[in-house]
Structures are given as structure tokens and as C-alpha cells.
Amino acid sequence: MELALYKMHGSKNTFYVMDIESLETIPFVELTKWLCQQDNNSGADGLLIILPSEKANAKMRVINADGSEASMCGNGLRCVARYVCERDNLDEAYIETAKVTLHVSKEKDMLPNISTYSVEIGPVSFDLSTIPMSYHNQTEIKNEKIQEFSDSILFTALSIPNPHLIGIVNNYYISESFHQLSLAQQLNNNSCYKCMWYSNDCISFSCVY
């Protein structure tokens, strides 16, 4: 069997993209683990599988580098948006994800020859039960300290719908990745949490399994 694979990137995430009719005969977990190894053509963050959809222009499945499946990936959706729109000669489309169908559209190129796509993200929830996350019987964490993680960083927890914990930090935390890696390892428990650092100058994120 021959499979066509495309390598794409969206906002610093790199993915392999595969457009197929069915997953029934493809060992996609083992395939993803192999493709994403760093010593294999620099690896990737995951495999995006594009499938036919009965209610949208296409269906997206997101397989993480460790073979687990994510319900959603915004940067991955940008890649799928471009692929589907160019494949079908469309300026906008609807992509079915694990939980919701989302609208995507082609926008004016940010720079010459840099294709730009906007994507709908949702459903967004700050309710800790939807993440899921349990913290001192709180129902939300919005721009506040979590002493167990840091006595200085302000965190916001949300699902979109995959779980995120966002921290507002200075540039030191951006340049020194140890802090982000350490926190991500603490947070992960069966699920993949995106631990995101934001500063005035740049954005960085890590996903640790």
C-alpha cells in the first residue's frame, strides 16, 4: 500500500497530513509514532488524518506524537483548512472534528507567498469540569496564581475543547524552556495539556506526554 503524506506547519507546530478514505487498514498509531521521531526527517508534532465527512467538507482526526488522539488542535486545523480548500478549490469550508464542526476560510496572505487561513475554535469553556481539572473546589481559574505551580505566574485554565493552562510570563520564561517543561510534566495525567507562555514579544507552547 502506498500513502501520500504531506508535511505542513501551522504557527510553529509541524504535522504530517494524510488524506484517505478510511482508517480500517492503516495502523495509524504505529505510523504516527514512527513518523514523529526526531531522528526521522526531524520528526513532527503529530499526524493529521483527513477523512470524508457526511456533514462537512472533510473530517479531521488528530493523532499526537505518542499515538494518542486529541479532540482538537487549532494549529492542526489551520493546516487541514489549507489542504481541503486548495484540494477542493474553495475559499471557505467546514471541517468536522471530534466534538464539533468548525468553519475555516482563506484570508489575505500575511506575507507574499505565505498562505493564511482563519479557523473557528470551539467550544471554549472556562468551567474546570470541562477540562477536566479539580482545584480547591473552584469552578474557574482566570488570571490567578496557582501556588502549587508558581507564586508569581498568573494562570487561566480553559478547554477549546482540549485542555489548556495559560500563563502570562516575562521573556525569561520564554527563553528558558526548563520551567515550561517542568510544569507541563506535572500537569499531564493521561491527557495532553497545552502549557502556554505568553509575553509581549513572543508566544511559546509545549505539549508533553
What are the pLDDT digits (tens) for 149-163? 888 888 999 888 878
pTM for the whole structure: 0.73
Q: How many CB atoms lie within 10 A of CB 135?
A: 14
- Shortest CA distance to 60 belongs to which of 50, 69, 70? 50
Residue identified by cell 469553556 is 125
Residues 107, 101: contact at Cβ < 8 Å?
no
pLDDT at 166: 86
Average pLDDT over the chain, rounded to an integer: 84
Task: Kindly state the cell numbers that stand for 52.
Answer: 470524508
Structural domains in the chain, CATH included, are 5-119 (3.10.310.10), 128-207 (no CATH)
Residues 60, 52: contact at Cβ < 8 Å?
no
